[in-house]
Amino acid sequence: MAFDVHNLQWTREPESFSISTERIEVVTKPHTDLWQRTYYHFRNDNAPVLQMTTDKRFFSFVVKTDFTESHHRFDQCGVVVYLDSENWLKGSIEYENERFQHLGSVVTNQGYSDWATTEIPADVKTMWYRLSRREDDFRIECSEDGATFRQMRVCHLHKATGPVRFGVYACSPEDSSFRAVFTNMELGACAWEAHDGQQPDEDA
């Protein structure tokens, strides 16, 4: 199994992009985002998403993101599993200001999003992500060097019961635009090992 750019499909194709075997570039449009309801009470579903489909129930996808050009609040790019407008997850860094950014993830189930974040310095301009699937559960990890990954989140997608679509996204929720660059894309065996602690409940 390989990450084949020839098998990628857009959900909302951006006006400006380029795709090659080694590199994907997306220029974001202003006022594009992914969010559903929670806290803000608005629904945004217009970010460009580039994904491939797999029926593999165990895999890991690695990608390096470069967001050197990001400069405005909420500019973001990262990994995504987008099933439909109300069921998806994403992991990314969102620019905040000249002092800090938010490294975080959003999981949306049945039309309600949540956001888990931590602050990181604003001078971080590249980040690696590893997205792993174990059946209908997922893990997002991040790395600054592509070698040592740190867990960001373990989560569940209720609708991930069959084939899923996964890949990359970029957007600018406010009046902004920047070039997001994705490289070092690899797809392989699941790097998220089976749990070796407490055994599952019998009725699980």
Q: Which residues contact 203 (CB under 8 A, 6 or more apart)?
A: none
Q: Express each pLDDT in 130-159 by its tens digit.
A: 999 999 999 999 999 999 999 999 999 999
Q: For domain 5-188, which CATH number applies: 3.30.360.10, 3.40.50.880, 2.60.120.200, 3.40.50.360?
A: 2.60.120.200
Give pTM, 2 decimals: 0.95
Question: What residues does each domain of the chain span?
Answer: 5-188
Helix (H, G, I), strand (E, B) or coil at 24: strand
Are residues 88 and 109 in contact, defined by beta-carbon separation less than 8 angstroms?
A: no
Q: What six digits make up the tokens of 173?
A: 């929720």
Share of the chain above pLDDT 70, in %: 99
Are residues 130 and 62 in contact, defined by beta-carbon separation less than 8 angstroms?
A: yes
Task: Give the Cα separation of 80 and 3 in Å (integer).
Answer: 14
Could you tell me which residues are beta bridge partners of residue 172? 30
